[in-house]
Chains A and B, each alone.
Chain A
């Protein structure tokens, strides 16, 4: 070919060609470099394996010594006794109780806040709302624990009844009012004549309104009469934990809501839906799996939290009576590990030492499973949203 000839004439050889040996060295260096990087990146995986291994290895001796039955079925926790009793049922129950309590409080609030952040607040306000959430997330757990123990617990103990009553009024009154409006509207919707419909709707509104008010007042006065024996109880811890779980729930849910595209929103608005209807009927279902993942992460935050429950739960190893009594002191897995290790550490090798690792293993397994589940959920949602 002509071009080749010309090139030979010009006699220039490409300056970018290197010797086979140098090329080999380059490749070797590249592979070596990447291997080192890979090794460092694998460090996390190795650490996870190590955590499972070392916690398990120290948990097994407990089950060898004491078997499985007592741990899960008995509520007698006397590790220092002779022989020690290691019934963790009440402790597991306590963990579940505060986790459930904080979830019930934080999930509705968290989702509402996430919706507000992603769909309602104008950008200028959102700029200030986000740092608030970040600061809430940043406050160390021991500071929350200190607040719960030193400020909130005495307040609950002395002013418990009135606090409960006010909380009831503030939380329940708006929702009951709404319910009354919606129900009277729905009941009167079938009537054809607009004038009559309005009259009946008004009548229903008044009747239900008075009923609701009476109900509010009655429950309020019952709550006001409650005397709280100890401020360090499951309610205190649940409330504080819910504020600690909130930032997680809000930020992960908000991501999920943001991932739902603009098109979906515009489609719904174009059909004449209000903002609330658009969000509830269109966006929330589309983002539901992401929000579920957020809830799981929030639950894990509450379950794994140590300092608040250790300081403010009362650390009393018994199942409350009745079983839903949030005003009693309880004890959780994390607080037990933190609190008992100080003495158990002196007797390494005893059941008393290893039972704490058994509790750690239980926590680890639960968190691992929750994490896997939430991860799967997020991946699935991403796939659905991207239409694959």
Chain B
């Protein structure tokens, strides 16, 4: 081959390598960017008066006098809206039955859309579900709902070859010639006066319980559940893993039995996470009956088994990287082997062991599959520490799945889902970053 061609090949080879790394970086960015951006929106957003009312009624937070004033200001515009509705309803009564029926069928959806937008209208029964007690609490959702209020979405099926196309029809046009036609421009114009949007920082998102299955409120029960599960798993796995690593590095003699143990370790590391879930269900719950049904305890035990190989491997590596001379020095001073391990080797290996532990903690916090059958519930409040032996718990990982895939109003609470994902990802990544930081410090320290 030509030398020139060889060089081009060489360069492009390098480019492919760089490209792959770049793709990974970009993938990380593409996945993280929307999660971070939207996730932050669950705490920092433009909140409406409804949000402040909800906070006051459900959590008892907020300035009461201020709220009364604001509600009074809002009421001025609401009165106008209610007045228009009343006027139209009165007008309906005067219509001939056929026409009335026609308008009624169109009027129903308008009322519903308006109610979704600004909250319960006078004359409705008090709603049982909290979600019907308030209008839109977030301004960007309110704008979306305003559009739904102003326009009716229809589907165009005229061309059977392509997918149906969505198009919008103005509701105002449908009520042409009635008194209601004024309502639409009025609401469009005065929505900010009714809902009074204002920049809001809602830290309660992280510390509040959820209200009406996450329509309102925060994700504290999930954060706490994740914490219980992950820490519980560490309580079991960390001591076991470190002791096993001490055995493998300091006591095990080469041989058949030892190689079996090592094989077992890598086999355990390769077991699919959902199989851990099956095992946890079949063993901890159905056989050992550590709890009546799902519980934090069963979930922690299952997670512990899952992270055990990682901890063992990290601890082994950390112990092996302790210079042999430390051990020699200690023994030559008349220390026993066990004492040497406890006073010299483990302290020197501690940062490395902790790094592995921290990464495993992150893994335990992030895993979903093992806790589906053993610990997780979709709805529920935060549980007390005493309940961990008997109660299941909501957890970030499981509830992200549940809210995104199974919640009846999944599309309405995207901000909650994003907030949960961001909370989970930050927990895990912060743990990992601290591990990276820890490791950098160790290598610096070992260099002297």
Asked if A and B form a direct contact in the complex, defined as CB atoms under 8 angstroms apart, the reply is yes
- Would A304 and B401 be within 8 Å (CB), given that A120-B18, A132-B24 are in contact? no
Contact of B17 among A33, A54, A112, A227 (CB under 8 A): A112
Which of the segments A37-45, A65-73, A216-224, A319-327 contacts the partner chain?
A37-45
Q: Which of B286, B404, B432 contacts A348 (CB 8 A)?
A: B286
Q: Given A121-B21, A360-B274, A371-B267, does the pair A131, B436 have CB atoms closer than 8 Å? A: yes
Q: A140-B366, A307-B368 are in contact. Are A116 and B18 (CB under 8 A)?
A: yes
Least CB distance, A244 to chain B, in whole angstroms: 10
- Is A151 part of the binding interface, using a Cβ–Cβ cutoff of 8 Å? yes
Is there contact, CB below 8 Å, between A134 and B432? yes
Say how far A192's CB is from chain B's closest CB, in angstroms. 14
Number of A-B residue pairs at CB separation under 8 A: 277
Given contact pairs A44-B261, A149-B405, A356-B278, A338 touches B243 in the complex (Cβ within 8 A): no
Given that A143-B400, A306-B273, A311-B401 are contacting pairs, would A37 and B305 also be in contact in the complex, using a CB cutoff of 8 Å?
Answer: no
Q: A48-B268, A121-B21 are in contact. Are A40 and B425 (CB under 8 A)?
A: no
Cα A201 to Cα B5 with chains together (Å): 11
A337 touches B278 (CB 8 A): yes
**Contacting A306 at CB < 8 Å: which of B18, B261, B272, B365?**
B272
Task: Name the A residues within 8 Å of B405 (CB-CB).
Answer: 149, 310-311
Q: Is the CB of A44 within 8 A of B268?
A: yes
A367 contacts partner chain B, Cβ-Cβ < 8 Å: yes
Q: Mark B1-45, 1 if CB is under 8 A from A, else 0.
A: 110011111101111111111011101100110110000000000
Across-interface contacts of A43 in B (CB, < 8 A)? 240, 244, 308
Q: Does A276 contact B (CB under 8 A)?
A: yes
Minimum distance in angstroms from A49 CB to a CB of chain B? 8
Does B81 lie at the interface of the complex (its beta carbon under 8 Å from any beta carbon of A)? no
Selecting from A2-10, A82-90, A182-190, the interface stretch reads: A182-190
- The reply to whether the CB of B128 lies closer than 8 angstroms to some CB of chain A is no
With A140-B368, A140-B397, A142-B397 in contact, is A150–B20 under 8 Å at CB? Answer: no
- Name the residue on A nearest B437 (C-beta): A131
A58→B278 CA distance, assembly (Å): 10
Cα of A136 to Cα of B373 in the assembled complex, Å: 27
- Residue on A with the closest CB to B245? A41
- CB pair B20 A363 closer than 8 Å: no
Across-interface contacts of A370 in B (CB, < 8 A): 270
Query: Which of chain A's residues has its CB closest to B283's CB?
Result: A54
| Inter-subunit contact A45/B17 (CB<8 Å) | no
**B260: interface (CB < 8 Å):** yes
B270:A297 contact, CB within 8 angstroms: yes
* Interface: B49 (CB within 8 A): no
A25 sits at the interface (CB 8 A): no
A58 with B282: CB separation less than 8 A: yes
Contacts of B263 in A (CB 8 A): 372, 375
Q: Which residue of B lies closest to A132 (CB)?
A: B25
In the complex where A48-B264, A150-B417, A307-B368 touch, is A120 in contact with B397 (Cβ < 8 A)?
no
B277 lies within 8 A of chain A by Cβ: yes
Q: Do A112 and B19 touch (CB < 8 A)? A: yes
Q: A140-B397, A227-B163 are in contact. Are A181 and B432 (CB under 8 A)?
A: no
Asked whether, in the complex, the Cβ of B34 is within 8 Å of the Cβ of A310, the reply is no
Q: What residues of chain A lie closer than 8 Å to B270, measured between beta carbons? A: 297, 300, 304, 367-368, 370-371
Q: B404 touching A57 by the CB < 8 A rule?
A: no
- Tell me which residues from 241 to 269 in chain B have a Cβ below 8 Å from any Cβ of chain A: 243-244, 246-248, 251-252, 260-261, 263-269
**CB-contact partner of A55 in B8, B279, B400, B425, under 8 A:** B279
Residues of B within 8 A of A364 (CB): 271-272, 275
**Is residue B429 contacting chain A, with contact meaning CB distance below 8 A?**
yes
A147, B286: Cα distance in complex, Å: 34
CB of B346 within 8 Å of the partner chain:
no
| B312 adjacent to chain A (CB < 8 Å) | yes
Kindly report which residue of chain A lies nearest to residue B425, judged by CB atoms. A143
- Cβ of B271 and Cβ of A44 under 8 Å apart? no
B397 touches A38 (CB 8 A): no
Would you call A37 and B251 a contact (CB within 8 A)? yes
Q: Which of A112, A133, A181 contacts B16 (CB 8 A)?
A: A112
Nearest CB on B from A269, distance (A): 12
Q: How far is the CA of A201 from the CA of B362 in the complex (A)?
A: 57
As a 0/1 sequence over residues 291 to 312 of chain A, the CB contacts with chain B under 8 angstroms (1 = contact) are 0000001001001111100110
Q: A227-B163, A334-B369 are in contact. Are A40 and B432 (CB under 8 A)?
A: no
List B residues 187-240 near A (Cβ within 8 Å). Answer: 240
Bound-complex Cα distance A359 to B424 (A): 29
CB <8 Å contact, B372 and A276:
no
Min C-beta distance of B113 to chain A, whole Å = 24
The reply to whether A42 and B282 form a contact with Cβ atoms under 8 Å apart is no
Q: How far is the CB of A106 from chain B (nearest CB, A)?
A: 10
> A113-B24, A131-B436, A372-B263 given as contacts; is B17 within 8 A of A120 (CB)?
yes
A77 within 8 A of partner (CB): no
B421 contacts the other chain (CB 8 A): yes
Q: Of B12, B162, B404, B424, which contacts A140 at CB under 8 A?
A: B424
The answer to whether B317 has its CB under 8 Å from any CB of chain A is no
Using Cβ atoms and an 8 Å threshold, which residues of chain A touch B35?
143, 146-147
- Point out the residue from B9, B276, B401, B414 that lies within 8 Å of A307, measured CB to CB: B401
Interface residue? B349 (CB, 8 A): no
Q: Which residue of B lies closest to A378 (CB)?
A: B266
Chain B hits for A45, CB < 8 A: 260-261, 264
Given known A131-B436, A303-B272, contact A142–B261 (CB-CB < 8 A): no
A143 touches B1 (CB 8 A): no
Chain B residue numbers with a CB within 8 Å of A207 are none
Chain B stretch 147-185: residues in CB contact (< 8 A) with chain A: 162-163
Verify if A357 is at the interface (C-beta below 8 Å from B).
yes
* Chain B residues whose C-beta falls within 8 Å of the C-beta of A338 in the assembled complex: 274, 277, 369, 372
Q: Given A182-B9, A306-B273, do A116 and B401 touch, yes or no (CB 8 Å)?
A: no
Check if B428 is an interface residue, CB within 8 A of chain A. yes
Q: Are B436 and A363 in contact (CB under 8 A)?
A: no
Would you call B17 and A113 a contact (CB within 8 A)? Answer: yes
CB distance from A324 to the nearest CB of B (A): 23
Q: Tell me, yes or no, whether A117 is within 8 Å of chain B by CB.
A: yes
Is the CB of A243 closer than 8 A to any CB of chain B? yes
The answer to whether A275 touches B397, judged by C-beta atoms less than 8 angstroms apart, is no
* Across-interface contacts of A201 in B (CB, < 8 A): 2
B393 → A minimal CB distance (Å): 16
**Residue ID in chain B nearest A345 by CB atoms:** B373
Tell me the smallest distance from the CB of B250 to a CB of chain A, in Å: 9
Q: Which of B5, B274, B309 has the most CB of A within 10 A?
A: B274
**C-alpha gap A337/B19 in the complex (Å):** 37
Residue positions of B touching A, CB distance < 8 A: 1-2, 5-10, 12-21, 23-25, 27-28, 31-32, 34-35, 162-163, 240, 243-244, 246-248, 251-252, 260-261, 263-279, 281-283, 286-287, 305, 308-309, 312, 338, 359, 362-363, 365-369, 372-373, 397-398, 400-401, 404-405, 414, 417, 421, 424-425, 428-429, 431-433, 436
What are 30 of the A-B contact pairs (CB < 8 Å)?
A: A37-B247, A37-B251, A38-B247, A41-B261, A43-B240, A44-B244, A44-B309, A45-B264, A50-B279, A51-B271, A51-B279, A109-B20, A113-B17, A129-B21, A139-B28, A140-B366, A142-B368, A143-B366, A146-B404, A147-B34, A174-B15, A178-B8, A186-B1, A227-B163, A275-B10, A304-B272, A307-B401, A367-B270, A367-B271, A368-B267
Which are the 9 A-B pairs with shortest beta-carbon distances? A304-B272, A140-B366, A116-B17, A276-B13, A45-B264, A113-B20, A41-B247, A306-B369, A274-B10
Known contacts A138-B431, A139-B31, A142-B424; 5 further A-B pairs (Cβ under 8 A): A140-B428, A144-B31, A348-B286, A367-B272, A371-B267
